[in-house]
């Protein structure tokens, strides 16, 4: 085709288009065409639902009546379970009256800003103590618990013999009674109970606290490091043997009256420098959690020492707030880096189990009238006998170049 012919056809095509546009414009002066029917709105995803069997198991582990109709054998009339429900019920009521209730009231007043800003509650050295974290930060979407104790397995109570159930509830009663009396777990005592093989690791203890706090359970998943440096998540199955640390479990749960699921993690892990390196899968996993507040109590003063400096630096670099007693990050780090600090309770000399960890600068701050130390209306931690308890709330300084990142 010649250039002239192509130009002519182009002019002819343009004229046709203009004529069509004019026709449409003319038609628009009369009746408008019917509008296209609106697209059907997409249905929102269904909210997660609690698994009846899991929720029932968690409730029975906690000595609570079934919230759903029982399925399978009903052994709740057995004397061992009845004795456990009565004993743990009394212990829980005493704990709630002396510690949990006052703690919730105090946190509602003193942690309002921290609660609003917190998505992840990071709780090193607390073991399976979900109840304290939930009382202090009930709005946390992610709660990260950790300890040296194994994850273990949930008990198969329906298939167990009556004798095996009796042994399980005797050990669960012993383990939880100690915590409800002191407000913290003693690793040596926990491991001695776990070694009997009846309460298999920390998972049943987390289950106890979740049920006591009224949570419904959606699902449970295992977590292990993957070959590419990430983590693999698989549906819960009974583990025949324990993996090598670090490994963990994720419990997807529903808070009473809500439809948005929350995640509670427990990791069996070593967070000493030699294991908790900045290139390690566990460090990278923790670094992915966003809007993080760290809480530490009864932490064996490990964060005072150089061999836990990586975790200490992680807490200082990535936390929006830190709530802790004197067993955690030494006071001087917050002062030197310009954190906003509030002190609560009374500072006492560390208990005799720990030496060379007394903080003269923290004692001086507590004794200075200008500090404005505020009361602490509950007791927990290593001074549970003397009830000389302390808490420090630190808010990170506003430095735009140091804002913690995360998912």
At 350-403, the pLDDT tens digits run 999 999 999 999 999 999 999 999 999 998 889 888 889 999 999 999 764 455
pLDDT digits (tens, 9 = 90+) for 102-139: 999 999 999 999 999 999 999 999 999 999 999 999 99
Strands 261-268 and 292-296, sheet pairing: unpaired
- Higher pLDDT: 4 or 308? It is 308
Give pLDDT, residue 30.
Answer: 45
Lowest mean pLDDT across 9-18, 179-188, 205-214: 9-18
CA 318 distance to own-chain centroid? 16
Of the candidates 221, 190, 240, which has an alpha carbon nearest to the alpha carbon of residue 54? 221
The token duo for 120 is: 């992840």
Q: Let me know if residue 20 belongs to a domain.
A: no
Averaged pLDDT, 335-353: 96
Strand-by-strand arrangement of the 292-296 sheet: 231-235, 216-225, 247-254, 261-268, 142-147, 120-123, 292-296, 319-324, 390-395, 340-345
Averaged pLDDT, 333-345: 97
Q: How far apart are CA 157 and CA 374, in angstroms?
A: 47
pLDDT digits (tens, 9 = 90+) for 136-176: 999 999 999 999 999 999 999 999 999 999 999 999 999 99
**Model's pTM, two decimal places?**
0.87
Q: Let me know if residue 142 belongs to a domain.
A: yes
pLDDT category, 250, cuts 50, 70, 90? very high
Per-residue pLDDT at 71 exceeds 80: no
Averaged pLDDT, 53-62: 96
Averaged pLDDT, 315-344: 98
Q: Which domain holds residue 239?
A: 51-402
For the chain, the helix, strand and coil percentages under 3-state DSSP, each to the nearest 5: 40, 15, 45
Averaged pLDDT, 190-204: 95
- Residue at token pair 């990142």: 405
Mean per-residue pLDDT over the chain, rounded: 89
Q: Let me know if residue 1 belongs to a domain.
A: no
The answer to whether the CB of 324 falls within 8 A of the CB of 392 is yes
Q: Let me know if residue 339 belongs to a domain.
A: yes
CA distances in angstroms from 39 to 33, 36, 42, 43, listed in the order given = 18, 9, 9, 12
pLDDT category, 39, cuts 50, 70, 90? low
pLDDT digits (tens, 9 = 90+) for 257-314: 898 999 999 999 999 999 999 999 999 999 999 999 999 999 999 999 999 999 999 9
pLDDT category, 74, cuts 50, 70, 90? confident
The token duo for 280 is: 């390690």
The answer to whether the CB of 345 falls within 8 A of the CB of 103 is no
DSSP conformation letters of 121-167: EEETT-TT-HHHHHHH-TT-SEEEEEESS-------TTTS-HHHHHH
Structural domains in the chain (count): 1
Of the candidates 96, 224, 78, which has an alpha carbon nearest to the alpha carbon of residue 158? 78
The token duo for 67 is: 């919230």
Q: Let me know if residue 154 belongs to a domain.
A: yes
Per-residue pLDDT at 24 exceeds 50: no
Q: How far apart are CA 205 and CA 129, in angstroms?
A: 8
Give pLDDT, residue 37.
Answer: 61
Q: How far apart are CA 201 and CA 249, in angstroms?
A: 12
Q: Let me know if residue 40 belongs to a domain.
A: no
The answer to whether the CB of 151 falls within 8 A of the CB of 268 is yes
What is the helix (H) or strand (E) element at residue 307, kind and residue range?
A: none
Q: How far apart are CA 281 and CA 116, in angstroms?
A: 29
Give pLDDT, residue 224.
Answer: 97
């Amino acid at each position: 085709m010649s250039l002239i012919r192509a130009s002519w056809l182009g002019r002819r095509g343009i004229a046709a288009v203009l004529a069509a546009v004019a026709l449409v414009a003319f038609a628009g002066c009369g009746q408008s065409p019917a509008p296209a029917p609106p697209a059907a709105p997409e249905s929102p995803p269904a909210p997660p639902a609690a698994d009846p069997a899991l929720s029932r198991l968690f409730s029975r582990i906690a000595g609570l009546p079934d919230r759903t109709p029982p399925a399978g054998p009903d052994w709740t009339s057995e004397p061992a379970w009845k004795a456990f429900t009565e004993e743990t019920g009394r212990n829980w009521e005493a704990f709630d009256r002396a510690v949990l209730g006052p703690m919730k009231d105090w946190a509602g007043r003193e942690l309002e800003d921290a609660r609003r800003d917190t998505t992840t509650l990071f709780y090193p050295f607390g073991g399976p103590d979900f109840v304290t974290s939930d009382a202090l930060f009930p709005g946390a979407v992610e709660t990260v618990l950790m300890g040296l104790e194994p994850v273990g397995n949930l008990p198969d109570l329906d298939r167990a013999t009556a004798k095996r159930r009796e042994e399980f509830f005797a050990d669960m009663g012993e383990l939880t009674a100690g915590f409800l009396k002191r407000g913290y777990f003693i690793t040596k005592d926990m491991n001695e109970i776990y070694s009997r093989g009846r309460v298999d690791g920390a998972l049943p203890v987390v289950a106890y606290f979740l049920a006591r706090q009224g949570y419904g359970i959606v699902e449970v998943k295992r977590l292990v490091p993957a070959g590419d440096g990430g983590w693999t998540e698989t549906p819960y199955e009974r583990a025949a043997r324990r993996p090598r640390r670090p490994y963990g479990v994720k419990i997807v749960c529903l808070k009473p009256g809500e439809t948005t699921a929350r995640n509670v993690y427990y990791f069996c892990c070593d967070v000493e420098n030699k294991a908790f390196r900045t290139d390690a899968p566990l460090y990278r996993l923790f670094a992915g959690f966003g809007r993080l507040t760290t809480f530490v109590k009864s932490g064996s003063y490990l964060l005072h020492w150089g061999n836990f400096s990586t975790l200490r630096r992680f807490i200082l670099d990535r936390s929006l707030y830190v709530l802790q007693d004197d067993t955690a990050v030494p006071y001087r780090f917050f002062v030197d880096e310009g954190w906003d600090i509030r002190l609560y309770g009374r500072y006492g000399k560390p208990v005799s189990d720990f030496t060379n960890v007394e903080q003269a600068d923290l004692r001086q701050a507590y004794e200075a009238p200008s500090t404005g130390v505020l009361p602490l209306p509950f007791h927990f931690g290593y001074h549970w006998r003397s009830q000389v308890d302390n808490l420090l709330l630190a808010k990170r300084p506003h430095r735009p170049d140091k804002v913690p990142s995360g998912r």
